Amino acid sequence: MSTKHVKRAFKYRFYPTDAQAAELSRTFGCVRKVYNMALAARTEAWTLRQERVNYNATSAMLTAWKKTGDLAFLCDVSSVPLQQCLRHLQSAFTHFFAKRAQYPRFKSKKKSRKSAEYTTSGFRFRDGALTLAKMAEPLDIVWSRPLPEGAGPSTVTVSQDAAGRWFVSLLCEDPSVGALPATDAAVGVDAGLDHLLTLSTGEKVTNPRHERKDRARLALAQRRLAKKAKGDGANRAKARRKVARIHARIADRRRDALHKITTRLVRENQTIVIEDLTVRNMLKNGRLARAISDAAWSEFRSLLEYKADWYDREVVAVDRWFPSSKLCSTCGTLQHKMPLNIRTWTCGSCGTTHDRDVNAAKNLLAAGRAVTACGAGVRPQRSSPGGQSAMKQETLQREL
């Protein structure tokens, strides 16, 4: 098995002392301040003078800001995270000018992610102990899994989520990542809400509906939060953390389930065929946005694609207008009408009885193999309102 030079992030939870928590909170605030000031300066330079300001210019601005009386507090924290946030801003503008992202936005004190990134000059990692700049003691990290042997972190990112939990992410080169033994196995995957995934093998993965299971607890916590007085009071902050903890529990369970199923699919199959869904358009449906978000189809695809890249597997996305539900996977006859309440149907040409979702997965697999063989995409069909997949409309409307 050949190995790859893959940079992999290993995330752990840690429990800071009061002094470390205060230092990190100051660092988060300074990172947000520098990022917003640099963004404002670059925006003003372009708006007023049609001038592009790069990273080197903002770095020089940071040096000047530290010498002013109002911003002298920037010298109290490590300069490494401040420089890194300027590099992140430069990357954000690069993606914007390449039309891969929207214009960078200012960081909010309450809504933006609290994080700071340290490069090798901003931390010390020795004998399994991680000590950040401006700190005398190492972080109390819960090492839930070992780091790759002989691999030290190249960058360290410290963050705090809305629930108040502290995390540290170490970016290391993982030599264990490499191409898996080649196999002839291929699978088509049909995503839905009734069943999270239906495979061309006939297997159906139950939709765990993590958000629905905690919906009553979440609604109660949100009602209690809504009754708290507006402002920065301690009671409101406590109620907000309660809501955030429930959201974090839901997200953790969802992510864990998706990691398990995507890892299994990648290990067992050489080619995985999915449908190219426009989840963003589907979320415009107010009645189903919660269920669609809970299914996390976009996260499923993202996990599947990067794991397939790690292990030299192939993920093929079939055009979203391919009529996989109406096409007989045995003889290829296209059914002109397929009422939404029909979950099993019999082909009038060959007499084969199909499960609707399994048949769709089989058709996706066949279409994906055709794409791989000849390099041609599946011909788009007539679009339906809202830019949604016809097959997904059937699944979504049945959920109503």
**Is residue 386 a part of any domain in this protein?**
no
Cα 230 vs. chain centroid, distance in angstroms? Answer: 31
CA angle 150/152/156 to nearest 5° reads: 160
Domain count, the chain: 2
Quick: pLDDT tens for 51-85. 889 999 999 999 999 999 899 999 999 999 999 99
**Is residue 389 a part of any domain in this protein?**
no
**Is residue 300 a part of any domain in this protein?**
yes
Q: Look up the domain containing 78 and give its range.
A: 6-174
Decide which of 150, 174, 198 is a domain's last residue: 174
Q: What is the mean pLDDT of residues 266-282?
A: 90
Same domain (yes/no): 183, 154: no
Percent of the chain residues topping a pLDDT of 90: 63
Same domain (yes/no): 157, 290: no
**Is residue 1 a part of any domain in this protein?**
no
Same domain (yes/no): 162, 227: no
Same domain (yes/no): 126, 146: yes
Quick: pLDDT tens for 22-49. 999 999 999 999 999 999 999 999 999 8
**Is residue 387 a part of any domain in this protein?**
no
Same domain (yes/no): 188, 47: no
- Mean of pLDDT over the chain: 88
Catalytic residue among 174, 211, 294, 357: 357
357 catalytically annotated = yes
**Is residue 392 a part of any domain in this protein?**
no
Same domain (yes/no): 170, 183: no
Report pTM: 0.84
Closest C-alpha among 228, 279, 276, 221 to residue 250: 221
**Is residue 277 a part of any domain in this protein?**
yes
Catalytic residue among 23, 190, 211, 394: 190
190 catalytically annotated = yes
149 catalytically annotated = no
Distances (CA, A) of 377 to 95, 191, 276, 388, 398: 27, 20, 11, 18, 29
Same domain (yes/no): 300, 202: yes
Same domain (yes/no): 145, 235: no
Closest C-alpha among 133, 129, 136, 134 to residue 153: 129
Same domain (yes/no): 189, 167: no
Quick: pLDDT tens for 368-397. 888 877 654 444 433 343 444 444 544 444
Q: Is residue 166 scored above 80 in pLDDT?
A: yes
209: CATH: 3.30.420
Same domain (yes/no): 219, 256: yes
Same domain (yes/no): 300, 268: yes
Catalytic residue among 174, 275, 294, 394: 275
**Is residue 354 a part of any domain in this protein?**
yes
